[in-house]
């Protein structure tokens, strides 16, 4: 059965072998690994993951695709190497399937929920140790912030892990081709270390970052007047939110 991609679910199926290989390599997967795949689609990436990982948990929202995947991977499902879950990833609770074990997220994600997926898993109680994601190229550039201009997205990601651009993936490598190019990003060493080591409050950090970026054109000192913080050891002067790096924000969160 030919499955037509659903625009409402942000479906674009990856058909590039080099891109699939790059995703797998960045995952550094072994037979000890549990991998969570978000939106397996027709299973192109799932197939590669099953070759390398011990267990793959694939969460798919589209009912019509679930049946296709069940048929395609019936052997892996019987052998319990593939756990296929029909659910919305933003509602899905990984703890119901695995308790304390480490896991990795490796996925070609629906772009319309990129921010929500990053927030859900980076701030989760049970965080993945590593994430390899296909995202829009512009979003990948914003996360990495090579131009030195940070955003709420880049700061949020860097607070929990180390992001790195793996490769750019042109639109023609997808079916149907999206309007924009994509990129594979890796976020490794995911933890809450930066908060514990600096004795910084995670909730205060988020409050400050959100308030700081609320009015991007305003001076940061003006934005932060709304909340009672002592501005740590940072001299804010005329700085705007995008000019502060992660260490600056952590220092502000320490001052509470």
CA dihedral 221, 223, 226, 227 (to 10 degrees): -70
DSSP 220-239: HHHHGGGS----TT---TT-
- Position 46 scores a pLDDT of 96
pLDDT band at 229 (very low <50, low <70, confident <90, very high): low
Q: Which residue in the block uniquely carries the two structure tokens 């996925």?
A: 107
How far apart CA 139 and CA 34 sit, in angstroms, is 27
Q: What are the phi and psi torsion angles at 85 (to 5°)?
A: -120, 130
Q: Inform me whether the pLDDT recorded for 2 exceeds 80.
A: no
Is a pLDDT exceeding 50 seen at residue 7? no
> What integer best gives the mean pLDDT of the chain?
89
At 142 the pLDDT is 95
- Cis peptide bond upstream of 176, omega within 30: yes
Q: Domains (ranges, CATH) in the chain? A: 11-191 (3.40.50.150), 195-254 (1.10.8)
Most confident range (mean pLDDT) of 29-33, 215-219, 239-243 is 29-33
pLDDT at 94 over 70: yes
Strand partners, 205: none
Pairing of strands 182-188, 130-136: antiparallel
Q: Are strands 82-86 and 55-60 parallel, antiparallel or unpaired?
A: parallel
Please state, in angstroms and rounded to a whole number, the distance separating the CA atoms of residues 4 and 22. Answer: 26
* Residue 228, pLDDT above cutoff 70: no
pLDDT of the residue at 133 = 97
pLDDT: which is higher, 158 or 12: 158
User: What is the rounded CA–CA span in Å between residue 12 and residue 247?
Assistant: 37
Max CA distance (Å), the chain? 63
Per-residue pLDDT band at 15 (split at 50, 70, 90)? confident
Residue 8 has pLDDT above 70, yes or no: no
């Amino acid at each position: 059965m030919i499955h037509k991609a659903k625009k409402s679910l942000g479906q674009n199926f990856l058909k590039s072998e080099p891109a699939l290989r790059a995703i797998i390599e960045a995952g550094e997967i072994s037979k000890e690994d549990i991998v969570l795949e978000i939106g397996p689609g027709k299973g192109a990436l799932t197939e590669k993951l099953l070759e390398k990982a011990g267990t793959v948990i694939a969460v798919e929202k589209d009912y019509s695709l679930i049946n296709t995947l069940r048929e395609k991977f019936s052997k892996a499902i019987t052998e319990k190497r593939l756990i296929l879950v029909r659910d919305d990833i933003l509602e899905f609770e990984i703890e119901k399937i695995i308790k304390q074990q480490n896991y990795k997220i490796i996925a070609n994600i629906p772009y319309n929920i990129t921010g929500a997926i990053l927030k859900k898993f980076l701030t989760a109680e049970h965080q993945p140790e590593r994430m390899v994601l296909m995202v829009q190229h512009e979003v990948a550039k914003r996360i990495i912030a090579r131009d030195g201009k940070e955003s709420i997205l880049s700061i949020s990601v860097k607070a929990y892990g180390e992001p790195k651009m793996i490769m750019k993936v042109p639109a023609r490598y997808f079916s149907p081709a999206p309007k924009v190019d994509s990129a594979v990003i890796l976020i490794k060493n995911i933890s809450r270390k930066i908060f514990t080591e600096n004795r910084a409050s995670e909730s205060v950090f988020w409050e400050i970052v959100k308030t700081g970026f609320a009015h991007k054109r305003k001076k940061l000192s003006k934005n932060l007047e709304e909340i009672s913080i002592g501005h740590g050891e940072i001299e804010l002067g005329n700085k705007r939110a995008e000019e502060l790096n992660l260490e600056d924000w952590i220092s502000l969160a320490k001052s509470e």
